[in-house]
Amino acid sequence: MTLQLWCMLIGVLLPYVWAAASLPFRSKQFGAPDLNEPRVQAEQLTGAGARAWGAQMNAWEAIIVFSTANFAAFSAGVDPESNWELAAIVWMIARAIHGAAYIAGISPLRVLAFTVGAGMSLWIFTMALAA
């Protein structure tokens, strides 16, 4: 189960990585990040800055699904050293690739990484249902 927890921790940290990635774009576009209303400013970003903001928002959504799937697997008694470990590792890699591809504007890779990550969460849910 330790490996799954590490994957969840990395998944929780990814939105912060993508938020930090948006800062140079904010500075370039607006002169400085707006610390009073950062979300309003983020919604006005364009180009790579907007994609970094999108990557952050999508990462928050994905960690909710992944964490819920892991909780279901744990609750159902899925063997932590089974395919559950593999699914968690693939999910983590896919989510890192998703954010990087999102910011870089590589849509086909972003969509593929999103699909793989979502598939891993669904696979974990399936393992829980089968347990």
- The predicted pLDDT at position 32 comes to 87
∠ CA 40-43-48 to the nearest 5 degrees?
A: 135
Closest by CA position to 100, among listed 114, 80, 121, 115: 114
Give the helix ranges, DSSP H, for 31-79. Answer: 38-43, 47-76
- The predicted pLDDT at position 85 comes to 97
Q: What is the number of other CB atoms lying within 10 angstroms of the CB of residue 28?
A: 12
- The predicted pLDDT at position 33 comes to 86
- The predicted pLDDT at position 121 comes to 98
- The predicted pLDDT at position 64 comes to 98
- Taking the alpha carbons at both ends of the chain, their separation in whole angstroms is 16
**Considering the chain, what is the average pLDDT of its residues?**
96
Which residues of the chain fall below pLDDT 50? none
3: CB partners within 8 A, 6+ apart:
80, 85, 88, 89
Coil vs helix vs strand at 46 = coil
Please, what are the domains in the chain? 2-130 (1.20.120.550)
For the entire predicted model, the pTM comes to: 0.94
- The predicted pLDDT at position 104 comes to 98
